[in-house]
Amino acid sequence: MKYIFVTGGVVSGLGKGITAASLGRLLKQRGFKVIAQKLDPYINVDPGTMSPIQHGEVFVTEDGTETDLDLGHYERFIDENLNKYSNLTTGKVYWNVLRKERRGEYLGSTVQIIPHITDEIKRFIYNVGDRAQAEIVITEIGGTVGDIESQPFIEAIRQICIEKPEDVCFIHVTLVPYISGSDEYKSKPTQHSVKELQNMGVRPNIIVARADGRLPEDVKRKIALFCNVKEDCVVENTTVEDLYEAPLMLEEQGLSAIVCRELHLTEREIDLREWEALTKRIKGLHKEVTIALVGKYVRLHDAYLSVVEALKHGGYEHDTHIHIKWIDSEDVTKENAPQLFADVQGICVPGGFGSRGIEGKIITAGYARENNIPYLGLCLGMQIAVIEFARNVLGWQDADSNEFNPASSHKVIDFMPGQNDEIDKGGTMRLGAYPCVIKEGTLLKKCYDCDEVRERHRHRYEFNNLYRQDYENSGMTIAGLSPDGQLVEAVEIPACDFFVGVQYHPEFKSRPDKAHPLFRGFIEAALNKKEQ
């Protein structure tokens, strides 16, 4: 098994994740079995409790692991399902080590950073490849070289290089700033960053230079000379028009061939025809629709990263460019809804937690239903649709979720079956992939064109089965159920052209060259709305 470690220097936000994801795609197109992993230096055990405004979305894997959003990039680019070993934080490392210490697994030894913390990090790195039976493991180290938090991770990958000297490649992503006053690119920040990394025992094989434009050859030669890498191992990472052009931009400079050489891999022919066709299709989109994305974290667009990408994927398959109209749900009122949604052809209400902005989302779902605007509700977005229908169709004005209003006499969204208020809420979420049986004759069945699917969940509350018959009698169809029939997975309103709410997160399984069926159907409905 081969190991590629991607580090970052000078500043954060240089695109380590996109570099790692792009390289993964390139190596996969050479026929290698690739898996990716992110090591994050923050002390949270996982990002599950972190604010989306600070950290962006929480991505969920098939096995129910709450992870960093970069794993979404990995899955979309590499098209491989990741697992619980694909995301490791400092908090999780210490959590695991301390539990082992309490169980006596260290046999009375003094527990230290080296070897116990670094051994735990190495265990995750080795396990992710073993679990996926991969040929190549790509591991991104979060943070910036020099940060005190990331030192144990750097030490762990240094040790792996000693253990497997022929099987490791270090890639350092760094900034080469342009100084307009002197009209030149400056390599000194890169030199200092590499020196910092070398002081920790890690020597980069490849430097990916993040720059605003093409680097002059003399600058690249200077970086190679002073950073002790081969000249062709200085690879530019320039800004591209669309994210999915990044693999092609890097491959123009021979990145995957260089990596194969540095890892002593027999180079296989690369086939990028499908990816090239995808980027060509993206550049040549002829139609356009506007989709309102109504949430409470819209100040940071990364909070809904997978939803936005899935909407784009749906557009790619319909030759359509997607304009996102970002709407803060706290700003939506009955009075301004007609103005807010006057120029949109579809409305998407994504997931979320907490009561802030809920009433605006309920008004949004009602406006979509009453005006026959295509509506796609994801997780909380489905629950919102259920609450709105109860209030304005069934006539239960106090209908609500037990999460938002425990005093409601119509808790149409309640704890999972068998739960009660005394349960510790931190450990009651339904996480990961669960099966959904699709009802015949529904829009859901038309979109999926199959009888059963597995979709990823991240929620604590469920549709209350006490009211299921009331909904069905009044025009809302239960379109998807768990195999035992106990959990409602999807609802729809047949009287509308497209009104679907799902309890899960389909956005996590959408791919740029293979849009998720629900997003594909949603964009088709939005196009039809525009033509009406």
Which tokens in the block code for residue 342?
A: 């006057």
Beta-sheet pairing, 206-210 with 168-175 = parallel
Which tokens in the block code for residue 2?
A: 């081969």
Res. 418 pLDDT band, cuts 50 70 90:
very low
CB of 361 closer than 8 Å to CB of 376? no
Alpha carbon distance 265, 256 (integer Å)? 11
- Looking at the predicted structure, is the pLDDT value of residue 108 above 70? yes
Of 296, 458, 464, the closest CA to residue 389 belongs to 464
- Side chain identity at 97, as an amino acid letter? V
Which helix (H) or strand (E) segment holds residue 483: the answer is none
348 tagged catalytic: no
Residue of 73, 313, 505, 516 marked catalytic: 505
The per-residue DSSP string of 291-309 comes to EEEEES-TTSGGGGHHHHH
DSSP lists the bridge partners of residue 455 as 434
Which tokens in the block code for residue 324?
A: 């996102």
149 tagged catalytic: no
Which tokens in the block code for residue 37?
A: 């992993």
Phi-psi domain of 240 (left: phi exceeds 0; alpha: psi -120 through 50; beta: other)? beta
Of 174, 179, 218, the closest CA to residue 196 belongs to 174
Res. 212 pLDDT band, cuts 50 70 90:
confident
Provide the whole-model pTM: 0.93
Alpha carbon distance 308, 295 (integer Å)? 12
- For the stretch 475-528, pLDDT in tens is 999 999 999 999 999 999 999 999 999 999 999 999 999 999 999 999 999 999
Mean pLDDT of 44-61: 90
Contacts of 366 (CB under 8 A, 6+ apart): 388, 392
Beta-sheet pairing, 287-295 with 320-328 = parallel
DSSP-derived 3-state class of residue 170? strand
End-to-end CA distance of the chain: 56
Alpha carbon distance 104, 92 (integer Å)? 18
CB of 40 closer than 8 Å to CB of 278? no
**Residue 114 neighbours by CB distance under 10 Å:** 11
Res. 428 pLDDT band, cuts 50 70 90:
confident
User: What's the burial of 317, exposed, middle or buried (CB within 10 Å: 0-12/13-18/19+)?
Assistant: middle
Q: Note the pLDDT of residue 417.
A: 52
Of 171, 77, 156, the closest CA to residue 124 belongs to 156
Alpha carbon distance 364, 379 (integer Å)? 15
Alpha carbon distance 54, 49 (integer Å)? 11
Res. 49 pLDDT band, cuts 50 70 90:
confident
Alpha carbon distance 225, 223 (integer Å)? 5
3-state secondary structure 24-62: HHHHHCCCCCEEEEEEECCCCCCHHHCCHHHHCCCEECC
The per-residue pLDDT of the chain, averaged, comes to 94
**Residue 45 neighbours by CB distance under 10 Å:** 16
Of 141, 144, 153, 170, the closest CA to residue 70 belongs to 141
- Chain-centre distance for alpha carbon 139: 16
507 tagged catalytic: yes
- Looking at the predicted structure, is the pLDDT value of residue 532 above 90? no
Alpha carbon distance 296, 362 (integer Å)? 13
Which tokens in the block code for residue 415?
A: 């704890």
Mean pLDDT of 389-417: 89
Q: What are the distances in angstroms from CA 88 to CA 24, 112, 144, 154?
A: 19, 19, 16, 14
Is pLDDT larger for residue 417 or for residue 265? 265
CB of 436 closer than 8 Å to CB of 383? no
Alpha carbon distance 510, 314 (integer Å)? 9
Beta-sheet pairing, 59-60 with 66-67 = antiparallel
- Side chain identity at 531, as an amino acid letter? E
C-alpha Rg value of the chain to the nearest Å: 25
- For the stretch 130-161, pLDDT in tens is 999 999 999 999 999 989 999 999 999 999 99
Beta-sheet pairing, 499-502 with 488-492 = antiparallel
Alpha carbon distance 502, 453 (integer Å)? 12
Is pLDDT larger for residue 206 or for residue 419? 206
- Looking at the predicted structure, is the pLDDT value of residue 425 above 50? no
| Residue 482: half-sphere exposure toward Cβ, Cα within 13 Å | 17
Q: Note the pLDDT of residue 420.
A: 42
Q: What are the distances in angstroms from CA 220 to CA 26, 230, 240, 451?
A: 23, 10, 20, 55
Residue of 169, 260, 348, 379 marked catalytic: 379
CB of 207 closer than 8 Å to CB of 172? yes
- Side chain identity at 243, as an amino acid letter? L
Q: Note the pLDDT of residue 424.
A: 38
Of 396, 405, 320, 425, the closest CA to residue 359 belongs to 405
Which tokens in the block code for residue 495?
A: 């009287």
Residue of 57, 236, 388, 507 marked catalytic: 507
Mean pLDDT of 43-56: 89
Which tokens in the block code for residue 156?
A: 């762990």
- For the stretch 235-256, pLDDT in tens is 999 988 899 999 999 999 999 9
